[in-house]
Amino acid sequence: MKERWMAQYALKAPCAQLPDPFIRPDGTRLNRPEEWPAQRAYWKKMLQDMLYGTIPPPPGNTKGEVVEMQATFGGAALRQTVRITCGPQGEVALQAKILRPNRPGRFPAIIRTAFDRQTPFPDEEKAVARGYVLAEYSCFDLAPDSGMENRAITKEAFAACPLAKAYPGYTWKAIAMWAWGQSRVADYLCTTDYVDAQKLVTTGCSRAGKVALCAAANDERFAICAISASGCGGGGCFRFMGGRMGEGTGLYESLGDMIRPSKFWFWFLEELGAAYGDQQGTRGLGREDYLPFDLHIARALVAPRPTITTEALDDIYANPYGTYVTWRAAEEVYRFLGAGGKNAIHYREGGHGFTAQDAGVMLDFFDNTFFDKGINAAYKTVAPGEDPLSPALHYTWRAPQL
């Protein structure tokens, strides 16, 4: 497989800047927004071939059964446990935890994959009071994870996981599997009488942020992508890394550091790390400048749907500087599609994690997007007329002039 996609996509010379998302496979450049869907399909296929692995289509047989329900927050909300089944012969099963307003109406739904030791969505009661449904399922329902202790996952264990067994003809790895699981939770929620199917949000922090970006890139039903501290393989950047002002070389998670046998080889395609990442077991850069894509492409796949990223300035491991680079580069695609202002970012002081401040900023973004509330929020977008380029952004291309 490695030889096939390297021959198909590999750059013949290093590209120190971010690859231009508007260049077609034949070397010509897009001229009109109507040409973007074909270009988007090209990039989507490349990311499946090189990063996520190939992903099966929606199974078309997702079903859910409420197995437990109780009132909470003085009766203002309901907690439900739902058993969801899908896939070949309905053999894939996951258990969703759903917290929803206990009043009539259809509400936006925020969906995430839960990981070992992760806390619930901050200020759940406030989120439900603002009119949001919160839904999550455990990553272990579909594919193994090494957890916060970075326990080793063997190839035998991964091959025996529910989704690998149910869909043996696909090359997908765990990030794509968990993202597919979020889509199945969305399948179920869209059948209920309390969710607005036009207002689905995918979200997550850290590795779950990588999952949310993958989910939004591959499932256009997600109206908003909201990711936090997602770093390498998420909202960050493969080529450029660092902290507040670009400092911190060697302190961040790089491609080679992430995709290696003793760490997270099962998150993304191993061939990517072997071909482009540093192979010395360090957090240094390898051959990332030969990559035919970078993470601004994954973010661009979400456009013109709104996206927001929250980051912490002291979270050097998650590459807050590279996330800024990715955000500004993706803005060119948003502008090209007439969606300027729908691409947002927020920074706070502090370290890794998803805090009440992060959640509050996201909820403000959701309110402004879904309900046009005009909240004077803390997040930043590129204002109309503002030049999104700067010498520090590491790209010289611009959106085609219409």
d(CA 32, CA 137): 40
For the four alpha carbons of 291, 293, 295 and 296, in that order, the dihedral sign comes to positive
- 402 is a domain residue: no
Could you tell me the CA-to-CA distances from 36 to 125, 186, 302 in Å, in that order? Answer: 40, 26, 12
* Bond preceding residue 304 cis, omega within 30 of 0: yes
Reported residue count of the chain is: 402
For residue 149, the model assigns a pLDDT of 54
* Pairing between β-strand 77-86 and β-strand 63-72 as defined by DSSP bridges: antiparallel
In 15-76 the beta strands, taken as DSSP E runs, fall at 63-72
DSSP string spanning 178-230?
HHHHHHHHHHHHTTSSSEEEEEEEEEEETHHHHHHHHHHHH-TTEEEEEEES-
- 399 is a domain residue: no
pLDDT in tens, the chain (402 residues): 555 666 688 888 999 899 999 999 999 999 999 999 999 999 999 999 999 999 999 999 999 999 999 999 999 999 999 999 999 999 999 999 999 999 999 999 999 999 965 678 899 999 999 999 999 999 999 999 986 555 678 999 999 999 999 999 999 999 999 999 999 999 999 999 999 999 999 999 999 999 999 999 999 999 999 999 999 999 999 999 888 766 666 678 999 999 988 889 999 999 999 999 987 867 788 899 999 999 999 999 999 999 999 999 999 999 999 999 999 999 999 999 999 989 999 999 999 999 999 999 999 999 999 999 999 889 999 887 787 777 667 888 999 977
With 0-12 / 13-18 / 19 or more C-beta atoms within 10 angstroms meaning exposed / middle / buried, residue 321 is buried
Q: 326: domain CATH number?
A: 3.40.50.1820
Question: Of 261, 392, 251, which is closest to residue 328 (Cα–Cα)?
Answer: 392
For residue 279, the model assigns a pLDDT of 78
- 348 is a domain residue: yes
d(CA 59, CA 89): 10
- 303 is a domain residue: yes
- 76 is a domain residue: yes
**Token pair for 277:** 């990442």
For residue 5, the model assigns a pLDDT of 60
- 401 is a domain residue: no
Total count of domains within the chain: 1
With 0-12 / 13-18 / 19 or more C-beta atoms within 10 angstroms meaning exposed / middle / buried, residue 33 is middle
For residue 373, the model assigns a pLDDT of 93
DSSP 141: G
Task: Measure CA of the first residue to CA of the last residue in the chain; give whole Å.
Answer: 39
Indicate the SS3 state at residue 255: helix
- 242 is a domain residue: yes
Helix (H) or strand (E) holding 325: helix 320-336
Q: Which residues contact 37 (CB under 8 A, 6 or more apart)?
A: none
Domain that holds residue 119: 2-393
Contact between 145 and 171 (Cβ < 8 Å): no
Find the largest Cα–Cα distance for the chain.
63
Helix (H) or strand (E) holding 112: strand 107-114
CA angle 223, 229, 234 (to 5 degrees): 65
d(CA 81, CA 66): 6
DSSP string spanning 64-89?
EEEEEEEEETTTTEEEEEEEEEESGG
- 278 is a domain residue: yes
pTM value? 0.96
For residue 148, the model assigns a pLDDT of 54
